[in-house]
Amino acid sequence: MHKTLRRIAACALLALAHLPQMAQAAFPEKPIRLVIGFPAGGPLDQHARLLSDKLQAVLGQPIVIDYKSGAGGTVGAQEVMKAPADGYTLMLANTGVMVINPALYGKLPYATLRDFTPIARTAMQPLALLVTPKLPVRTLQEFTAYAKERPGQLNYGSAGNGGISHLVPEMFKNAAGLFMVHIPYRGSAPAFTDLMAGQVQFMAESIPQAASYHKQGKVRALAVTSRERNPALPDVPTVIESGLKGFEVVGFYGFLAPAGLPADITARLSDAFGQVMNNPELRSRMVAQGADPAFLGSADFARFLAAEMPRWAQAVKASGARLD
């Protein structure tokens, strides 16, 4: 009898000792909320939808996309920063949110490396320089000449103050010696609407969205900002080919969680993204859209961000852009 009781007690103690591992194995037990700091229909939304189905299959739980747009992605970042660090709230962010905003805004409510846990980088993202088809220009050289003859008369749209779609035209303006007026929107979808209608004449946008509209003839892509031509826009030259030496600007996408995320949950999520990014069908779809599949796990992504912060701070300073 006593032996039996001792055996039961020993089994109970063993079970208690394994509770942390059992809890670890159970994650996730409910749907995961994915916050995007921009409206539906933009390039981040396209990227999220491309990955979410396969991520759901790996994690065994639904991924619910939650749009919290405003202030160049800052509203969404604050939402995630304040969420519990339990793995059930993630943020899909772009270069602007992660590394440009900290250099651009005098008073930013978050610090990327302090307030978030990097989970995975998923893509490198060149941009395309676009014009409305209403303009009588077919090349970047023609646009530059057209704009120089009309200082202050042309507008460029962006997805909001502080994003890469704001900074890249500023960098282009400075490099080409142009004066254009910035019109910020709440996300790239409304900016595209006005670009197509000719309300704004110029825009820089990530290639997945740009290529789709260019192929439909709704906008005209003049150049891409990568060093090499992009498979999604093979006939469109680079900015460097178009005469601006050394002009290379490539953004990136990544997933982050609130700071303090437990190491086991960080590893589970990072590994899940690694599995998703190894899927050949997904990779080919990303390439077709114009993104470069470029997975980095949590630790490598953290190191990448630490290296990118000063590089973009220098780009912001050189552009003269500043927001408060």
Is the domain of 263 the same as that of 194?
no
Q: Where does a domain end: 207, 224, 241?
A: 224
CATH number of the domain residue 81 falls in? 3.40.190.150
167 and 195 both lie in a single domain: yes
Are residues 97 and 137 located together in one domain of the fold?
no
Q: Are residues 117 and 202 in the same domain?
A: no
Residues 108 and 133 in one domain: no
Domain membership of residue 288 (yes or no) is yes
Mean pLDDT of the residues in the chain: 89
261 touches 189 (CB < 8 A): no
Q: Is the pLDDT of residue 161 over 80?
A: no
- Statement to judge: residues 283 and 205 lie in one domain: no
Domain stops at, among 208, 224, 240: 224
Residue 76, domain member (yes or no): yes
Domain boundary among the residues 224, 259, 278 is at 224
Residue 23: the pLDDT is 41
Cα–Cα dist 43/275, whole Å: 22
Mean pLDDT over 125-152 rounds to 96
Residue 6 is predicted with a pLDDT of: 59
Burial 196-218 (b: 16+ CB within 10 A, else e): beeebbbbbbbbbbbbbbbeeeb
User: In the prediction, which pLDDT does 195 show?
Assistant: 97
Q: What is the pLDDT of residue 186?
A: 85
How many structural domains is the chain composed of?
2
CB atoms within 10 A of CB 101: 28
Q: Are 265 and 285 contained in the same domain?
A: yes
pLDDT in tens, 173-214: 989 999 999 999 988 889 999 999 999 999 999 887 888 899
- What is the rounded average pLDDT of the residues 84-99? 95
Using CA atoms, how far apart are residues 44 and 238, in angstroms rounded to an integer?
Answer: 23
Q: Where are the alpha helices (DSSP H) in 160-247?
A: 164-176, 188-197, 207-215
Nearest to 43 by CA among 258, 268, 203, 199: 203
| Residue 234 domain-assigned (yes or no) | no
Determine, yes or no, domain membership for 2: no
In a domain, 231, yes or no: no
- CATH number, residue 164: 3.40.190.10
Q: What is the pLDDT of residue 5?
A: 52
Which residues span the domain enclosing 255? 31-125+250-319
| Predicted confidence (pLDDT) per residue in 62-88, tens digit | 999 999 988 888 999 999 999 999 999
309 within domain boundaries: yes
Model pLDDT for residues 300-316, shown as the tens digit of each residue: 999 999 999 998 888 78
CB atoms within 10 A of CB 28: 18
> Residue 290's pLDDT band (boundaries 50, 70, 90)?
confident
Paired sense of beta strands 220-224 and 116-131, if any: antiparallel
Q: Please determine, for residue 14, whether its predicted confidence score (pLDDT) is greater than 80.
A: no
- CA pair distance 21, 1, nearest whole angstrom: 31
Q: Is residue 4 part of a domain?
A: no
In a domain, 6, yes or no: no
Q: Pick the more confident residue, 208 or 230.
A: 230
pLDDT tens for 16-31 read: 555 444 444 589 999 9
- In this prediction, residues 210-219 reach a mean pLDDT of 92
In a 3-state reduction of DSSP, which class is residue 32? strand
